[in-house]
Amino acid sequence: MDKMVKENIFDNFYKGRKVFITGHTGFKGSWLSIMLNWLGADVYGYALKPHTNPSLYELANIDQLVSSTKGDIRDYNLLLATLKEVQPEIIIHLAAQALVMESYKNPRETYEINVMGTVNLLDAARQVKSVKAVLNVTTDKCYDNKEWHWGYRENEPMGGYDPYSNSKGCSELVTSSFRNSFFNPKDYEKHCIALASARAGNVIGGGDWADDRLIPDFIRAIMRGEKLKIRSPYAIRPWQHVLEPLTGYLMLCKKLYVSGPSFAEGWNFGPDDKDAKNVEWITKRICELWADGASFEIDKSPQPHEANYLKLDCSKAKTLLDWHPSWDIETTLQMIVDWNKAYKNKNDMREVSIKQIEKYLFHNK
Ligand SMILES: NC(=O)c1ccc[n+]([C@@H]2O[C@H](COP(=O)([O-])OP(=O)(O)OC[C@H]3O[C@@H](n4cnc5c(N)ncnc54)[C@H](O)[C@@H]3O)[C@@H](O)[C@H]2O)c1
């Protein structure tokens, strides 16, 4: 991809910019690290070691692209010391216990990481003079799910049924309190920090090996030559490729940095309605795209409660950030199959990921 394309998308804003990502060793953090490095940013990361094997972080040798600190978000002193040393301009907070099923097993730890982790990060950020923009990444599950059919807007109340969703609702409330108390847009001239949060849906893409997520479970089953067992075949989810919200986060961070307080609020990043499909539809379609005898069956054993479809109203991001979903579900699934076939064929996965990033950003030009 030529230099012109890179420059057109974010107007070269990220070139040489110091960006600090928490959770850079995870699925979204790894993609974001590759993307920011590709855009010429100076990328710093703070997280635990990759918690899956394999991981995109290791396959793409992201340690070579990012100045990485392996630390716990609950370790306030280490986090503060790292931020003071790095002096970042932009912080994107992704570090979290990110799984609903795990949150049923370990609710205390989920709250400690997701709520106190956010408190630690925001409290540390206010002590570092270089910081101008902070984005807390939560989820669509942070909303009080009334199981209705229209989209949730950013000013809807927080909630969350299971500990993961609820901890993210709490993380949103923490963000809002810090914005009122320490980063108030009215006093922007004094503190110079714009703080926002981003709520995205079910994010999918190559390089995810988390437990209890449909696509990773499916890829694992395919690689082992087994039938995939699916739970909740009729559950509809707002599937979107990982590059969709990540592009939204980067558009938003640029606005926070350049225009400050007017963008310091919550933002939804979700797919178009037509791409919300049920689990069975997604699974069938991947089987067709993968071919080679990939198949599935329905797991009828009782499962813990998972919220029904929750739709985001993304009018705000579309209107004010000019962010729009770009890859439909067909393209997204094709990208996932291509990525995993390349992985199966032992290709260079950093290169494969960069090619997909280029395709995505070129499409968005
Ligand atoms: N993947 C999705 O579908 C999705 C959807 C909406 C929101 N999100 C949110 O996006 C963010 C990233 O999600 P992901 O899918 O990449 O998750 P992931 O589990 O792949 O990565 C989580 C990251 O957080 C780090 N982390 C976990 N506990 C930590 C701790 N105690 N201290 C320091 N770092 C810690 C991990 O090391 C890893 O880098 C999370 O905040 C998640 O809630 C994800």
- pLDDT, tens digit, for every residue of 295-327? 888 877 777 666 667 899 999 999 999 999 999
Residue 66 has φ and ψ, to the nearest 5°, of -130, 140
Closest ligand 1 atom to Cα of 47: 34
Query: pLDDT, tens digit, for every residue of 108-127?
Result: 999 999 999 999 999 999 99
Closest ligand 1 atom to Cα of 25: 39
pLDDT for residue 7 is more than 70: no
User: What is the distance between the alpha carbons of residues 34 and 204, in angstroms, rounded to a whole number?
Assistant: 16
The token pair that represents 321 in the structure block: 């950030």
Q: How many angstroms is it from 321 CA to the middle of ligand 1?
A: 24
Q: Is 265 in contact with 254 (CB distance < 8 Å)?
A: no
**In angstroms, what CA-CA distances link 257 with 50, 52, 59, 249?**
30, 33, 32, 12
Bridge partners (DSSP) of residue 198 are 137, 267
Report pLDDT for 79: 98
Q: Give the pLDDT band (50/70/90) at residue 364.
A: low
Residue 175 corresponds to which amino acid? T
User: What is the distance between the alpha carbons of residues 195 and 257, in angstroms, rounded to a whole number?
Assistant: 10
Report pLDDT for 223: 86
Q: What is the DSSP letter of 193?
A: -
Q: How many angstroms is it from 94 CA to the middle of ligand 1?
A: 5
User: What is the distance between the alpha carbons of residues 12 and 18, in angstroms, rounded to a whole number?
Assistant: 13
pTM score of the predicted model: 0.96
Which of 25, 94, 171, 241, when mutated, tests ligand 1's pocket best, judged by the most ligand atoms within 8 Å of its CB?
94
Q: Is 250 in contact with 196 (CB distance < 8 Å)?
A: no
Contacts of 22 (CB under 8 A, 6+ apart): 29, 45, 46, 47, 73, 91, 92, 93, 94, 95, 117, 121
Percentage with pLDDT > 90 across the chain: 81
Q: At what angle do helices 329-344 and 214-224 cross, to 10 degrees?
A: 40
Evaluated on CA atoms 296, 300, 304, 308, the torsion sign reads: positive
Peptide bond into 304 cis (omega under 30): no
Q: How many angstroms is it from 24 CA to the middle of ligand 1?
A: 8
Query: pLDDT, tens digit, for every residue of 23-78?
Result: 999 999 999 999 999 999 999 999 999 999 999 999 999 999 999 999 999 999 99
Domains, the chain, in order of start with CATH, read: 3-302+309-363 (3.40.50.720)
Q: Is 205 in contact with 333 (CB distance < 8 Å)?
A: no
Query: pLDDT, tens digit, for every residue of 160-186?
Result: 999 999 999 999 999 999 999 999 999
Q: Is 166 in contact with 316 (CB distance < 8 Å)?
A: no
Q: Tell how many helices (H) and how many strands (E) occur in the chain.
A: 15, 13
Strand pairing category for 67-70 and 42-47 = parallel
Q: Is 30 in contact with 57 (CB distance < 8 Å)?
A: yes
Q: Give the pLDDT band (50/70/90) at residue 292.
A: confident
User: What is the distance between the alpha carbons of residues 154 and 244, in angstroms, rounded to a whole number?
Assistant: 18
Q: What is the largest CA-CA distance in the chain?
A: 62
Contacts of 319 (CB under 8 A, 6+ apart): none
Report pLDDT for 297: 87
The residue assigned the tokens 């503190």 is: 191
Q: Which residue, among 138, 22, 6, has the nearest Cα to 76 in the 3D structure?
A: 22
Contacts of 293 (CB under 8 A, 6+ apart): none
Query: CB atoms < 10 A from the CB of 155, how many?
Result: 8
Does ligand 1 have an atom closer than 6 angstroms to the CB of 28? yes
Q: How many angstroms is it from 47 CA to the middle of ligand 1?
A: 9
